[in-house]
């Protein structure tokens, strides 16, 4: 089975929409230091970025819209629609 770049992006979107969002895992005020997968079309197929939420930026109506993510290569700013927060047990 050959998985190309488009398939990996679709799979990550499926995971974010159907699996992760069923648990209502979205960045919120308590999400600082949570692990995330980063959806980026510049990554090779089946390779998703990983990082940790460093800071949270709220938009209108105090809803989290953008987060700052620390990655092994640096710090990036991403919209929450390009991230999947990984479920963690307390």
31 burial class (0-12, 13-18, 19+ CB within 10 angstroms)? middle
- Taking the CA of residue 40 as centre, how many other CA atoms within 13 Å lie in the half-sphere pointing to its CB? 14
Residue-wise pLDDT tens digits, 35-81: 988 888 787 767 788 999 999 988 888 888 899 999 999 999 998 88
d(CA 52, CA 37): 9
pLDDT band at 12 (very low <50, low <70, confident <90, very high): low
Residue located via tokens 């999400």: 31
Within a domain: 36: yes
pLDDT at 55: 92
Domain containing residue 68: CATH number? 2.30.30.140
Does the reported pTM lie above 0.75? no
Within a domain: 59: yes
Element (H, E) at 37: strand 35-38
Task: Give the domain range for residue 70.
Answer: 7-85
Query: When comparing pLDDT for 14 and 79, which is higher?
Result: 79
Within a domain: 2: no
Within a domain: 29: yes
Within a domain: 90: no
Domain total in the chain: 1
Within a domain: 43: yes
């Amino acid at each position: 089975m050959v998985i190309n770049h488009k398939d990996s992006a679709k799979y990550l979107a499926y995971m974010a929409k159907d699996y992760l969002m069923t648990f209502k895992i979205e960045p919120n005020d308590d999400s600082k230091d949570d692990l995330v997968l980063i959806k980026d079309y510049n990554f090779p197929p089946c390779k998703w970025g990983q990082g940790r939420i460093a800071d949270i930026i709220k938009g209108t109506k105090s809803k989290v819209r953008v987060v700052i993510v620390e990655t092994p290569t640096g710090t990036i700013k991403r919209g929450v629609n390009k991230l999947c927060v990984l479920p963690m047990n307390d």
